[in-house]
Amino acid sequence: MSDDRARSTDDNRARSTDDETAENESVEIDVDTLEGSLYRVLSSVVIPRPIAWVSTTGSDGVDNLAPYSFSTVASVSPPILLFAPVDDQKDSPQNVEETGEFVFNLVTEDVVEPMNETAATLPAEESEFDHVGLERAASTTVEPPRVADAKAAFECTHHETIEVGGSVLVLGEVQYVHLDQDLLGDDEKVDVANVDAVGRLAGSMYATTQDRFGLERPP
C-alpha cells in the first residue's frame, strides 16, 4: 500500500479506558481488532524520522529520486543504511534490485521543498531530477548521480532486500561518502550543530535539528 493510500484509509478505532479518571485516561489499541491501518499512529508517534533522499538509475538509464522517511543506519561495520518502501512496486526498490546501487542523500532545510516535490508519482521514464529541476553531481563509485545540493551523500551498493510484511527493507553498504565543508567544525570533523537535517513528523509536518540539548550517558 502506498504511503498516501495508507494514510487516507487510516481508520484507527481506539478505545479509551473507562476505569480511569479523565486525567490519566489513555487510549488503547488492540491491533488484533483494529479496523484499518496503524499508519497514522506509527508515523505520528515514531518521530522524527530521518529522510533518505534516494537516487537510483534504472536499467533504462533514467535517474530516479525519491524521499523515504522509513530509513536509518542498520550497521556501522560494515556501514549499512536502509530505507523502507511500503511496497515493492515503487521505482526506487525496483531500480536497486536491477542495478544494485543507490545514493542516500541528506535532506537539510534548504532542500526540503524540492525534496517534497520528488515524492510526486511520475511515469518511470521521467526523471525527478528533471521534473523538479535539480542539478545532478556525478558519484564516485556508483552509477546513480548525487543531488548536487545535498550536503552529504552516501554511495551504496545493494546489500540485501528483506521483505517485512507489506514493506521491503532495502539495505545498502556505504562505499563512499561526500560531506560538504559546511558540515565540518573547526576540528575538520562533522559538527552536529552544522548539520541542519530535516526529520519527518506526520503527513506534511517536519522538524529540524536546530533545537538541541546535551545529556551525558551513564558510564
Ligand X SMILES: Cc1cc2nc3c(=O)[nH]c(=O)nc-3n(C[C@H](O)[C@H](O)[C@H](O)COP(=O)(O)O)c2cc1C
The contact set with ligand X (CB under 6 A) reads: 2-3, 51, 64, 66-70, 84-86, 90-92, 116, 119, 121, 200
- Least distance in Å: CB of 63 to ligand X? 10
**Of residues 128 and 155, the one with the C-beta less far from ligand X:** 128
Q: Does the CA dihedral 201-79-145-63 come out positive or negative? A: negative
The residue type of 151 is K
**Of residues 100 and 184, the one with the C-beta less far from ligand X:** 100
- Least distance in Å: CB of 61 to ligand X? 15
The CA-based angle 104-110-112, given to 5 degrees, is: 60
- Least distance in Å: CB of 81 to ligand X? 13
Given a contact cutoff of 8 angstroms between Cβ atoms, the answer to whether 103 and 156 are in contact is yes
**What is the CB-side half-sphere exposure of residue 138 using CA atoms within 13 A?**
2
- Least distance in Å: CB of 86 to ligand X? 4
Query: Given its phi and psi angles, is residue 17 left (phi above 0), alpha (psi -120 to 50 degrees) or beta?
Result: beta
**Of residues 88 and 184, the one with the C-beta less far from ligand X:** 88
**Of residues 46 and 193, the one with the C-beta less far from ligand X:** 46
